[in-house]
Structure 1
Amino acid sequence: MHTRPTLYSITKPEPKVDLQFYSSDERQAQRLTARLKHVAVVHWVDTRDISGTREPIYLAGLPLILLDYSPTEAERSSMLARRLMMGAPGISLVGVGSIGADKAGGVLAALRAGVSEFLDIDAKDEDISELLMRVHGDARPAPAALTPVPHSHGRLVLLLGVRPGVGTSTLAAHLGALVSPGRTSTMGADEGPKEAQVILLDLGRPAGDATLYLSVPNEFHYENALLGARRIDATLIRTAFTNHDSRLTVLSQAPGTLGKPADTADLPVLLDRLRHHFDLLLTDLGGLPVSEVPLPLLREADEIWLIADQSIGSMVSLDACLRQLDELGFRDGRLFLVINRHDPDDGVSAGKIAKRFNLRLAGLLPDRFRALRASANQGLLLHQVAPRDPYLRALKLLLEKLRRNLQVEESPVIVRSWWKQLFDRVRRG
């Protein structure tokens, strides 16, 4: 038997916007009703009547739904959002809450749940009216209308380990933290992120390895970004994405993810958004076979660095990797070879390996496994412990290669999205 909500009309029906407000708090419903009395008829849906089940909620037509994202209701509302979207795909959901400094967590919770808009109950009457009229005017907004997809310009560089264990994630973490330390932006407050023009996409396996080496929290994930790809703007990047002390921005898979990185129709949109806001997208694909790398990454990459060592197993894996790239049509001039744990006395030189596989050699990294492990065990990167280590000296060539291609351009003013307006108000207190 399908779940259907019970409606409690708490305003006199008049020719206004018709709304349903899902909450277990009648006082919150009454407060919302008072705020919206000039623009809407509010029907309170007591969520206690429909709790305790995960089945879809089916509604007649496509009404405009408000969900209570006050601190005590946010978790329940996120579960309801998923059930509502299951029962009525394309439904228009609006979160309701306060963006005061101590309550703004509801905004992020709403975003993660896929809620398309957020109504600040403490906002001015005209702001509330404008939001409701806009949403109600198009109950099923075209995704691109939320914020125009900007023209991208950032470079996408993939670090693809030819087999697990060749040090790809360690390399990605160090390159990301060192490629642009102390850089500042010429952008204005409304034009783009001030503190980070480099982002590390941590998509390797095990999930979150590079993030672990950077010792940063992992709360807003790659999967969240995909879900809200069309709503990503400079303010969301500053407030939701993880940042390292070096000003590196990090976007990782959720901890414990076992499958390959999600590859949805919105991945090209996400890449476009990120390439607009960042000069460099450094992508860790360590531990992934070519067959599990999302095709948009391979297709749109500016450079693909193949990470290998001098072992016979690595050579076999490099050959297999190149064959797979060839089958997909990606064995081209974007490929570079990086030899990690290089030993000049190993017998097979890096130059010979590059020549054998017809690859350009981007760099050599010495075997500093023990030093890297020791720093990682302290929760630090190697340059924070031993700034003159040979590994870091060898990184200079790779860092110079990345920096040569970075272009810092003044970004055009972008549309102030509803997320931006909310977080700007939070920041102002």
Structure 2
Amino acid sequence: MEKGRQREIAPNDSNRFVFCSSNGAHLRWLAHALSEWHVIQQELAATALLTSRVAECRPRLILLDFSGNCGDSTANCTADMIALAQMMKSKLPDVPVVAVGTMDYPEGAVAALRAGVHHFIDMTAPVVEAHDVIYKLVSAVSSPTVSVEGALITFVGARAGVGTTTLAVHLADILQQEKSVQHKDYQIGLLDLGLPACDGQLYLNVTGNFNFSDTVRNRHRLDRTLIQTALATSHSGIKVISLPRSLTEIADISSADVRSLLSQLRLYFDVLIMDLGGFSDMAFVESMVSASDQTLLVTDQSPGSLVSLSTMLKECEKHGGDASRLQLIVNRYDIRYGMSAQQIAERFSLPLAAVMPECTLRLMSSANQGKLLHEIAKHDPYVRAVHDLAEKLLNPHSEKQTSKLSSWVPSFLKP
């Protein structure tokens, strides 16, 4: 531990930060990153005693070591930090609490956010990022630097099993992989809210502990650091937020909560794709439709799907839905099945956004290889149809298109 950091600081020093950890290397990193502030170390002790010591320091900000190694031994101290964070919130509710950790131990970031910290500092990132996070926090700058909202595109399945999630995942991955060099920082997000839960994660070969329920409950702490550290990320860079395995965790989440989350997420993503395939709560679906820039209803040509689509449209109307906001996608299309895609669209008075050709065999074959179809057959008719859909949805001349995408979409989307 640095002896200089144990010095007494005048009571009127408004830049006093307290770092709860016995790890000297972490203190040195933090002191360097936050050099314009006074960082005092508090050695680990019993939670009640440590809380009392921190309170006596009258800190402007509290930093907790969620690295998984807070001391000189290899003992994991995450559980102690969670207890300390909760007690700090109770005893010092007006003092911001920030977690310090490392992406080598991502469980620490998830534990910290669930414990209710305000921000997370990653010690494997450049020190300037830590400085910026703290500067914004202590300067009471809560609004993100991004001022333009990204596009929100929602997919709703007429019924479970019509291929909604498969389509949403392919669209998200194509957009993320084929963003132009000039816009290398563009970020695609997938709200994997379809049923069965977590199928989007499965197709993208990602796993994550920070789920949709966690994101909603921590929306007031949402910032770029949380997004980069807590959310699951695909190999192409898509940030994925999935439903929890147990749907009882979302039982008390309201549509208003979700709409609030969407408004915040759109500040950090250029395109958000929300998959509601198989979702049967039509009041919730309608609320999400009204919050979206574009909504795609996905069906196939089977009688069951068409009956379900009719029922869904009637339910949406019952909940005050605006049918003019909806577009139709006919998936797994084969003219030999009967009704043409155009006939289906006319039957339900919906504009036809796309016709996705039947390719169940090829999609299943690629999935069994742990790949998306465009990764192994980029000129497949289904892949070309996804590219065409992407260009149509993100057309810069669309009336509802945001300026954030106005210079991005055109030619590079074509395979």
Q: Judge same fold: TM > 0.5, yes or no.
A: yes
How far apart in 1 are the matches of 2:205 and 2:106? Answer: 25
Show the 5 A alignment for 1:111-260.
111-117=113-119, 145-148=141-144, 151-184=147-180, 186=182, 194-247=184-237, 249-253=238-242, 255-259=244-248
User: Counterpart in 2 of 1:300?
Assistant: 291
Q: 2:341 aligns with which of 345, 350, 361?
A: 350
Deviation, 1:335, is: 0.2
Q: 1:264 to 1:366 in 2, by over 3 A?
A: closer
The amino acid that maps onto 1:335 is: L
**Unmatched 5+ stretches in structure 1:** 1-9, 51-58, 188-193, 412-429
Residues 340 and 23 of structure 1: is their aligned pair in 2 closer, same or farther, counting only changes over 3 Å?
A: same
Return closer, same or farther for 1:81/1:185 CA change in 2, 3 Å cut-off. Answer: farther
Residue number in structure 1 paired with 2:332: 341
Kindly provide the CA deviation profile for residues 295-321 of structure 1, in whole angstroms up to 9, marking residues without a partner as x.
652221111101111122112211121
Moved more, 145-154 or 368-377: 145-154
Q: What's the secondary structure of 1:289's corresponding residue?
A: coil
Q: Does the 8 A contact of 2:20 with 2:41 survive in 1?
A: no
- C-alpha distance after superposition, 1:226-265 (max 9, x if no partner): 3443444445444443333444x23222551324584475
Deviation at 1:279, TM superposition (A): 2.6
5+ residue gaps, structure 2: 1-5, 50-54, 71-76, 407-415
Q: Does 1:94 align with 2:97?
A: yes
TM-aligned CA deviation for residue 224 of structure 1? 3.6
Q: Is the 8 A contact 2:211 2:242 kept in 1?
A: yes
SS of 2:69 mapped into structure 1: coil
Q: Which residue of 1 aligns with 2:45?
A: 46
- 1:266 CA displacement: 5.0
Q: Report the residue type matching 2:342 in the other structure.
A: G
2:156/2:164 contact within 8 Å kept:
yes
SS of residue paired to 1:338: strand
Secondary structure at the residue paired with 1:345?
helix
Residue 52 of structure 2 is matched in structure 1 by: none
Question: Does residue 69 in structure 1 map to residue 66 in structure 2?
Answer: yes
Secondary structure at 2:394 match in 1: helix
Q: Distance in 2 between matches of 1:394 and 1:119?
A: 42
- Structure 1 residues 90, 166: CA separation in 2 closer, same or farther (over 3 Å shift)? farther
Q: Partner amino acid for 2:245?
A: G
Instruction: Give the Cα–Cα distance (whole angstroms) in 2 for the partners of residues 355 and 373 of structure 1.
Output: 31
CA RMSD of aligned residues (A): 4.6
The 1:72/1:363 distance shift into structure 2, 3 A limit, reads: same
Structure 2 residue matching 1:293: 3-state secondary structure: helix
- How far apart in 1 are the matches of 2:317 and 2:255? 23
Q: Percent identity?
A: 34
Instruction: Answer whether contact 1:178 1:246 (CA < 8 A) is retained.
Output: no
- Cα gap change, 1:384/1:306 in structure 2, threshold over 3 Å: closer, same or farther? same
Partner of 2:409: none
- 2:383 is aligned, of 392, 415, 425, to 392
Tell me, what secondary structure is at the counterpart of 1:277?
coil
SS of residue matched to 2:177: coil
For 2:324 and 2:286, locate their aligned partners in 1 and report how far apart those are by CA, in whole Å: 17
Residue 337 of structure 1 aligns to a residue whose secondary structure is: strand
Q: 1:250 to 1:263 in 2, by over 3 A?
A: farther
TM, length-normalised to structure 2: 0.71
Give deviations 1:363-412, integer Å, cap 9, x for gaps: 1222222221121111111122333333223334312212314666499x
Q: Distance in 1 between matches of 2:225 and 2:388?
A: 33
Taking structure 1 as the reference length, the TM-score comes to: 0.69
CA displacement at 1:27 relative to structure 2: 9.0
